[in-house]
Amino acid sequence: MGRVCSAGMKGEPKASEDGPAAETRLLLAHRDLWDDARVAFLGAPASEARWLDAPRAVYLSGTEGGTPGADFERAVVYLPKGRRRRDYLIAYAGALSQTLIVVGQKRAGIKSATKQLATLGSIQETAHGSHCQLASLQLSERQPLPQLDEWVAEFEARGLRLVTLPGVFCDGRLDDGSDLLLEHLVLPDQGTLLDLGCGAGALGLWAKRQHPSLCVTLSDVDELSVESARRSAQRNELDVRCVRSDVYSALDERFDVIVSNPPFHQGVDTDYEVTQRIIGEAPAYLATAGELWLVANHFLPWREPLEAHFGRVDLVHASNRFKIWRARLPETTP
């Protein structure tokens, strides 16, 4: 089966080149709770490490399995979007340390998460700031390390058996946008295809099932998504490559086709940056006359950036919910 190389989390707080995320600002205002400790961070964007500046910190994804290899005095959880991933990360943190610090935006449900934490132990301290809340919790005892196999969900879609882990896009069902894209997608019988932001791998695995001679790569920035895609490939006995990549950062080849159902939320924030990068950087990762296929919510303004980077842009389908775009590079002449 395909190879896997991964790190990072989906649904991360939105970070900025100009400063730390709101959750990080609150942590920094209360760094006495964690600064001098051996601390594990879960769910923190990689970009936040430079702002946290914690030399004794380890940044984990929650997919390490086994024994993480260190005794931690604190475990800090950046509250993710989605109940299942939240529960998983808190369970994982409880296996690393008896002292947990959970921080999250109020819009992401930190208040309800704090109520849940109170059932697990004693809340030692709470703090508010930057539209976020922080809670420090002392567990009565160390928890067992959760096993990924116990958090798996499976579902059938388009002749595939797809495997999902907590918080992965399409966790438990194929989303309507991806399903619509598969209705309209036109692919070559041979060549190379990249499913970018693959989630559980539905687009790329369907392409491989329909066109066995295609060489397919499944890529996502999220470690649990890459693991879900790898498990989905194994479940369907499809030979694909699985790669952890922040958009194109870990890719060094050109593809005949790139397909994507890109996110426009980063945690609870609206964020167009990922799709802008997918579009703007795509020509450097497409072969001659290569194509980019996107499905996006109908109100998102992607025609202009697509036309700025591609020779031909077609609106393949439009409804009151979604638009499907097909953008092609011009063929070069000798």
Structural domains present in the chain? 22-139 (3.40.50.150), 152-328 (3.40.50.150)
pLDDT per residue as tens digits for the range 125-143: 899 998 999 999 999 888 8
Confidence of residue 65 (pLDDT cuts 50, 70, 90): low
Of residues 212, 306, 330, 196, the one with CA closest to residue 251:
196
Q: What is the mean pLDDT of the chain?
A: 88
Residue 162: which of 2, 171, 311, 26 has the closest Cα?
A: 171
Whether residue 305 contacts residue 119, with contact meaning beta carbons closer than 8 Å, is answered with no
* The pLDDT of residue 333 is above 80: no
pLDDT in tens, 269-316: 456 788 999 999 999 999 999 999 999 999 998 999 999 999 999 999
Distance CA(32)–CA(73), nearest Å, equals: 13
In whole angstroms, how far apart are CA 145 and each of 97, 136, 139? 11, 20, 14
**272-297 core/surface letters (b: 16 or more CB in 10 A; e: else):** eebbebbbeebeebbeeebbbbbbbe
| pLDDT the model gives residue 120 | 87
Q: What is the mean pLDDT of residues 57-77?
A: 82
What pLDDT shows up at residue 73?
Answer: 94
| Assigned token pair, 140 | 């009565």
Pairing of strands 191-196, 160-164: unpaired
Residue 82 pLDDT class (50, 70, 90 cuts):
confident
